[in-house]
């Protein structure tokens, strides 16, 4: 399966307490603007995104292929996945970084086994987003940030042949590009423990179009730990020199956030 068929990741979610302390996934701001805690505050989160994938891909000089893969199919081929996000805030200013990496593999036979007995495809996908934000509206229940940053994509696939005429031969196809994105992030507190959150980013660069939207609900267990659950959709349209990565990923997200 092509590398673009596999990406299980999760980005920052946001939360907020109505009564003085606001929480965001990988954001540790404290209360309304005129009550910000002095100095820097930090948050770190590990997260999981159970995303399926659909779209068009092309690698190794082959024609475009349409893919429509469920999360279950992706998980069956997953070798490794790592997702983490961190954020720092000083008053209305924030900086954040989100890193996601997955490695998948699949193996199959060839017709009649003449060229090779087996073909193995290993695919690695990396996406890293670094950005900064500024609060443009804030009261006791809500906050709205404008934010912008850069997302780096790297997709690499390797075909390896064993047995037959092509035994020991391998080929690699890869692409790396950078997109600039801008958008909004917002939170609204329902109770001292429960909050709503969402974000939306759009941009382009190496890709013709890059976008990311999400909505979530969060729960604050105490001053140091909160949890979030929601739904996220992300898309990117990259096409260069025969390498096509035009996909949409969507699915539920879960995360656990530590504030300090």
Q: Which residues of the chain have pLDDT under 70?
A: 1-38, 107-120, 160-170
pTM recorded for the entire structure: 0.79
- Domain boundaries in the chain? 3-259
Per CATH, the number for 3-259 is 2.40.128
Q: What is the per-residue DSSP string for 133-193?
A: EEEEEE-SSEEEEEEEEEEEEEEEEEEEEESSTTTT-EEEEEEEEEEEEEEEEEEEESSSS
Predicted pLDDT at 128 = 94
CB atoms closer than 10 angstroms to residue 243 = 19
Tens digit of pLDDT for each residue in 14-50? Answer: 333 333 333 345 554 333 333 455 689 899 988 898 9
Predicted pLDDT at 38 = 66
Tens digit of pLDDT for each residue in 140-163? Answer: 999 999 999 999 999 998 876 666
Q: How far apart are CA 137 and CA 156, in angstroms?
A: 41
């Amino acid at each position: 399966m092509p590398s673009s068929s596999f990406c299980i990741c999760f980005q920052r979610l946001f939360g907020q307490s109505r009564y003085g302390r606001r929480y965001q996934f990988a954001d540790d701001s404290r209360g309304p603007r005129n009550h910000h805690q002095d100095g820097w505050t930090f948050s770190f989160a590990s997260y999981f995104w159970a995303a399926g994938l659909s779209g068009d891909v092309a690698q190794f000089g082959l024609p475009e292929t349409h893919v429509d893969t469920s999360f279950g199919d992706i998980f069956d081929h997953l070798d490794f996945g790592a997702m983490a996000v961190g954020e720092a805030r000083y008053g209305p200013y924030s900086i954040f970084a989100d890193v996601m990496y997955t490695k998948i593999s699949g193996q199959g036979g060839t017709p009649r086994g003449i060229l090779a007995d087996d073909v193995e495809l290993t695919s690695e996908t990396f996406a890293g987003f670094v950005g900064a934000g500024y609060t443009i509206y804030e009261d006791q229940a809500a906050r709205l940030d404008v934010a912008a940053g850069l997302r780096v994509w790297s997709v690499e696939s390797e075909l390896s042949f064993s047995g037959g005429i092509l035994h020991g031969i391998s080929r690699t196809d890869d692409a790396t590009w950078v997109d600039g994105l801008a958008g909004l992030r917002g939170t609204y507190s329902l109770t001292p423990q429960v909050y709503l959150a969402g974000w939306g980013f759009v941009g382009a660069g190496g890709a013709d179009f890059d976008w990311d939207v999400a909505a979530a609900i969060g729960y604050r267990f105490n001053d140091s730990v909160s949890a979030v659950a929601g739904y996220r959709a992300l898309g990117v349209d990259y096409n260069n020199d025969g390498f096509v990565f035009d996909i949409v990923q969507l699915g539920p997200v879960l995360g656990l956030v530590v504030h300090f």
